[in-house]
Amino acid sequence: MRTTTVVIGAGQAGLAMSWWLAERGIDHVVLERGELANSWRSERWDSLRLLTPNWHSRLPGYRYQGDDPDGFRTMAETVDFIEGYGRSIGAPVRTHTTVKAVRRSDDGYEVITDKDAWHCDTVVIATGACNIASVPGVSESLPPDIATLTTLQYRNPDQVRDGGVLVVGASASGTQIADELQRAGRAVTLAIGEHVRLPRRYRGKDILWWMDSTGVLDETYEDIDDVVRARNLPSMQLAGYPDQRMIDLNSLTDIGVKLIGRLAGFSQGKGQFSGSLRNVCSLADLKMNRLLKVIDEWVEQNPLAEEIDAPQRFDATRVEESPPLLVDFARSGIRTVIWATGYRPDYSWLDIPVLDKKGYLRHDGGVVTGSPGLYVIGLPFLRRRKSTLIDGVGHDARDLSANLAGYLAGRSQPLHTEPRLVAI
């Protein structure tokens, strides 16, 4: 079968790209191994809600219409939202079609699925950034009697056997799971490395409102000095609880979670933890305060019509003077480890030499290096700080589809970043 562009993946990224391809009159098909919004359906834990408010999920030609703009979607609501988007734009999705291989052909690309083969001029990889749990090498030295789960496997506390739990990683997933397990009566220890602390609300408004209004989320990969570092930053330490409560290390300490340094190794039944806990927490506090200062300065320069609360600062993260460096798992009753140490994409089906040594795609803002006509969308800081957020992907799709249209027209298209759109 032949089409101009094959988009692989029908999450928000593939669907937003489909909207822009249609807008530009480019014939295409979207291949999806499951149903629309498959990752939201099958790879998230039961209690998860989006950490971005309802209003902050603007996709091209689609936005929240309900009466709770400041609420946080459950997974079922998120699936409805993404699926509703796909249907409303009439995206040409072929569900239950798994891409098994993508190769170069004489005149473009060949996309082999478990059902058929497609020939096309261009391919957009929209298969997500979180296909595989990224588990550190130290996991291999854990004794076999310790049960392990990744955040892709975790569903709810009932799935975790009795006894203490070590959650490794203190970003959005790790802190939310630690909170849930501790409240369910488990003794949770949380191992903490670099993290991005943020208040849920600031000066009477949601932190995402501020990050959106000040333009922090619109920063582009061309604007910043160290894009490699920016692409590797941990996720925002936030949760979308219905009561708007804030999650941070202090709130976890308040409910009894034990904070400990980064897990560095495991030997003779003992976990070895870094002594840098205080430093990483101070750094996270410092960076949070830096962002709050940016917001305060922005307010001074852009007075709001409405009344807003005065600037505030949050308590520094409380950590033990000398957190333990060694923990005997048997003695402390830890029987389960949950790896909340991030995710990575899976390109095992890609038969084109465009991956770096670590298995990541080499690309310039989504234009894959060394394979003209091949694009990727939905990766961290692909083009903007908000590239992986539902709210950000439409902007990236617009830029990349412009480049793709130029490529098809036989002219090289500068990969410029379109100015911010208020409504797309």
Ligand X SMILES: Cc1cc2nc3c(=O)[nH]c(=O)nc-3n(C[C@H](O)[C@H](O)[C@H](O)COP(=O)(O)OP(=O)(O)OC[C@H]3O[C@@H](n4cnc5c(N)ncnc54)[C@H](O)[C@@H]3O)c2cc1C
Closest residue by Cα to residue 261 from 327, 316, 191: 191
Report residue 200 CA to chain centroid gap. Answer: 17
DSSP 3-state assignment of 214?
Answer: coil
**Contacts (CB under 6 A) with ligand X, residues 259-288:** none
Q: Which of 29, 75, 89, 130 binds ligand X (CB under 6 A)?
A: 130
CB of 97 to ligand X, least distance (A): 6
Site string for ligand X, 196-225 (x = CB under 6 A): ------------------------------
CB of 316 to ligand X, least distance (A): 26
The nearer residue to ligand X, 51 or 295, going by C-beta atoms, is 51
CB of 368 to ligand X, least distance (A): 16
Residue 244 lies near ligand X (rule: CB under 6 A): no
Instruction: Check residue 221 and give left, alpha or beta (phi > 0: left; psi -120 to 50: alpha).
Output: alpha
CB of 68 to ligand X, least distance (A): 15
Number of residues in contact with ligand X under rule CB under 6 A? 31
Q: Which helix (H) or strand (E) holds 396?
A: helix 390-408
**Contacts (CB under 6 A) with ligand X, residues 160-189:** 173
The nearer residue to ligand X, 128 or 271, going by C-beta atoms, is 128
The nearer residue to ligand X, 33 or 363, going by C-beta atoms, is 33
DSSP 3-state assignment of 283?
Answer: helix
Listed in sequence order, the residues at least 6 apart from 282 whose beta carbon sits closer than 8 Å to its beta carbon are: 316, 317
**Rounded distance, CA 246 to CA 237, Å?**
10
Stretch that binds ligand X, among 126-134, 225-233, 242-250, 333-341 (CB under 6 A): 126-134
Q: Which of 5, 6, 7, 11 binds ligand X (CB under 6 A)?
A: 11
Sequence length of the chain is 424
**Rounded distance, CA 178 to CA 180, Å?**
6
Q: Which two tokens stand for residue 291?
A: 């962002």
The answer to whether residues 340 and 173 touch, using CB atoms and an 8 Å cutoff, is: yes
The nearer residue to ligand X, 318 or 420, going by C-beta atoms, is 420
Residue 378 lies near ligand X (rule: CB under 6 A): yes
Site string for ligand X, 61-100 (x = CB under 6 A): -------------------------------------xx-
Closest residue by Cα to residue 17 from 112, 89, 102: 89
Could you identify the residue written with the tokens 């530009």?
24
Stretch that binds ligand X, among 5-13, 84-92, 116-124, 294-302 (CB under 6 A): 5-13
Residue 341 lies near ligand X (rule: CB under 6 A): no
Residue 17 lies near ligand X (rule: CB under 6 A): no
The answer to whether residues 212 and 56 touch, using CB atoms and an 8 Å cutoff, is: yes
Instruction: Check residue 214 and give left, alpha or beta (phi > 0: left; psi -120 to 50: alpha).
Output: alpha
Roughly what angle, to the nearest 10 degrees, separates helices 390-408 and 12-23?
A: 40
Q: Which two tokens stand for residue 14?
A: 């593939």
Residue 146 lies near ligand X (rule: CB under 6 A): no
Closest residue by Cα to residue 150 from 165, 134, 129: 134
The nearer residue to ligand X, 121 or 391, going by C-beta atoms, is 391
**Contacts (CB under 6 A) with ligand X, residues 25-54:** 31-34, 38-40, 44, 50-52
CB of 13 to ligand X, least distance (A): 3
CB of 367 to ligand X, least distance (A): 17
Site residues for ligand X per CB under 6 A: 8-14, 31-34, 38-40, 44, 50-52, 98-99, 126-128, 130, 173, 349, 378, 388-391
